[in-house]
């Protein structure tokens, strides 16, 4: 039996799975990366997390053939260079080489949502479709595009960067420097900023002050859910606005590249799918030119935290396992 590992490096935590050659998960491990964004410090935690997952799998590091790693950044997959990870403050890093050196085995690095979409495509409900687009909503918004069963990365490795599709010209300022990006409206940061704006402009109040007093700096999907359940108008409006923006983005994807299905994932959508899904379906019906837009398959991720790490591991099975 051959074994592989998949690592998901996020902005606040790292998650690792070890799988066998059939894709069965032997072990999972999760570690926080803290607030120090120093690269060596964080990569040491990534290695520690990987070693703990291997040890929990009752195999040795020598048994692991190759490791896939997902990072929150566009990646030049040919040269294995991490291009720009704003949440970590890292730019132009030869991440593949550094990790191969640390783990002493072949490593393949790619964008996290590319690999999450690939995970859902391979192991989730989207496996019956050949052309799918994944949209993951968390702190930001990421995308992944699979055509004919293969990840499409594009000439500049930005084929999945749907978070920076401009859906409102002159709209809200985005961290990337443009205005009106999908992410600036629909991501968690966009949701928080919208609530803040309404408080400043109209002197309104939000129940988030009681539910999550530190909400302006960081708010979890579950706190947003609680605020919605307690009928907090500002939160409901901001989340509905996010859902409409995701619906517009889905329609744009359906109209321009004609995929068979859309997969929606990430903490925000998974926790709040009962709000997102009806609004997204309605927006697709209104804006999509596809025949039968009302029946277009929109699938909610079912792999949860495993999606990205599992996709990373399976990508190296495809690269190294079939040689």
* Residue closer to Zn ion (CB basis): 41 or 197: 197
d(C-alpha 67, C-alpha 9), whole Å: 13
300 closest CA partner among 319, 272, 260, 258: 272
Smallest gap from residue 275 Cβ to Zn ion (A):
24
Q: Which residues contact 48 (CB under 8 A, 6 or more apart)?
A: 31
Alpha-carbon torsion 25, 27, 32, 33, what sign? Answer: negative
Q: Considering beta carbons, is residue 167 or 263 the nearer one to Zn ion?
A: 167
Measure the CA–CA gap between 246 and 279, rounded to whole angstroms: 9
Sheet order of strands, 74-76 included: 74-76, 81-85, 90-93
What is the CA 229 to chain-centroid distance, rounded?
25
Which lies closer to Zn ion via its Cβ, residue 181 or residue 307?
A: 181
Closest CB to Zn ion among 181 and 262? 181
Pick between residue 174 and residue 312 the one whose CB is nearest to Zn ion: 174
Phi-psi region of 27 (alpha: psi -120 to 50; beta: other; left: phi over 0): beta
Smaller CB distance to Zn ion: residue 27 or 166? 166
Q: Please report whether residue 181 would count as binding Zn ion according to CB under 5 A.
A: yes
8-state DSSP, 163: G
Min dist. Cβ of residue 206 to Zn ion (A): 25
User: Count of CB atoms within 10 A of residue 271's CB?
Assistant: 16
CA atoms within 13 A on the CB side of 58: 2
Least gap, CB of 176 to Zn ion (angstroms): 3
Cβ at position 33, least distance to Zn ion in Å: 24
Minimum CB separation from Zn ion for residue 178, in Å?
Answer: 5
**Which string of DSSP letters, residue by residue, matches 90-124?**
EEEE-HHHHHHHHHTS-EEEEEHHHHHHHHHHHHS
Determine the interface stretch with Zn ion among 53-61, 178-186, 204-212, 303-311 (rule: CB under 5 A).
Answer: 178-186
Closer to Zn ion by CB, 184 or 312: give it.
Answer: 184
d(CA 52, CA 56): 6
d(CA 144, CA 86): 18
> How far apart are CB 250 and Zn ion at their closest, in Å?
18
Residue ranges in 118-177 that form contacts with Zn ion under rule CB under 5 A: 164, 174, 176
For the bound state, the minimum distance from the C-beta of residue 141 to Zn ion, rounded and expressed in Å, comes to 9
Length of the chain: 323
Nearer to Zn ion, 164 or 225 (CB): 164
**Count of residues that interact with Zn ion, criterion CB under 5 A:** 5
Least distance (Å) between residue 264 CB and Zn ion: 19
The residue behind tokens 């999760």 is 30
Copy the structure tokens of residue 246.
């995701």
Q: Which residues bind Zn ion (CB under 5 A)?
A: 164, 174, 176, 178, 181
């Amino acid at each position: 039996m051959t074994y592989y590992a998949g690592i998901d490096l996020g902005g606040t935590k790292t998650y690792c799975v070890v799988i066998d050659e059939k894709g069965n998960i032997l072990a999972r491990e999760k570690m926080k990366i803290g607030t120090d964004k120093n690269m060596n410090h964080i990569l040491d935690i990534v290695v520690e997390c990987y070693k703990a997952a291997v040890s929990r799998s009752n195999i040795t590091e020598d048994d692991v053939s190759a490791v896939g790693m997902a990072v929150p950044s566009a990646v030049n997959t040919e040269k294995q260079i991490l291009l720009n990870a704003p949440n970590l403050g890292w730019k132009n890093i030869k991440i593949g080489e550094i990790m191969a050196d640390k783990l002493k085995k072949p490593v393949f690095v790619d964008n996290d949502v590319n690999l999450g979409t690939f995970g859902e495509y391979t192991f989730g409900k989207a496996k019956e479709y050949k052309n799918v687009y994944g949209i993951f909503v968390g702190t930001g918004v990421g995308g992944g595009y699979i055509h004919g069963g293969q990840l499409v990365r594009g000439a500049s490795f930005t084929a999945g960067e749907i978070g920076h599709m401009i859906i409102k010209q002159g709209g809200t300022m985005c961290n990337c420097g443009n205005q009106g990006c999908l992410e600036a409206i629909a991501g968690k940061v966009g949701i928080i900023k919208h609530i803040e704006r309404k408080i400043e402009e109209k002197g309104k109040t939000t129940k988030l002050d009681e539910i999550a007093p530190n909400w302006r700096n960081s708010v979890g999907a579950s706190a947003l859910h609680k605020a919605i359940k307690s009928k907090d108008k500002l939160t409901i409006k901001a989340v509905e606005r996010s859902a409409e923006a995701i619906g517009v983005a889905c329609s744009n994807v359906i109209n321009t590249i004609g995929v068979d299905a859309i997969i929606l994932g990430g903490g925000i959508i998974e926790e709040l799918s009962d709000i997102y899904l009806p609004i997204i379906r309605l927006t697709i019906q209104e804006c999509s030119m596809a025949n039968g837009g009302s029946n277009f398959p929109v699938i909610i991720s079912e792999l949860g935290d495993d999606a990205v790490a599992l996709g990373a591991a399976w990508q190296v099975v495809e690269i190294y396992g079939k040689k």
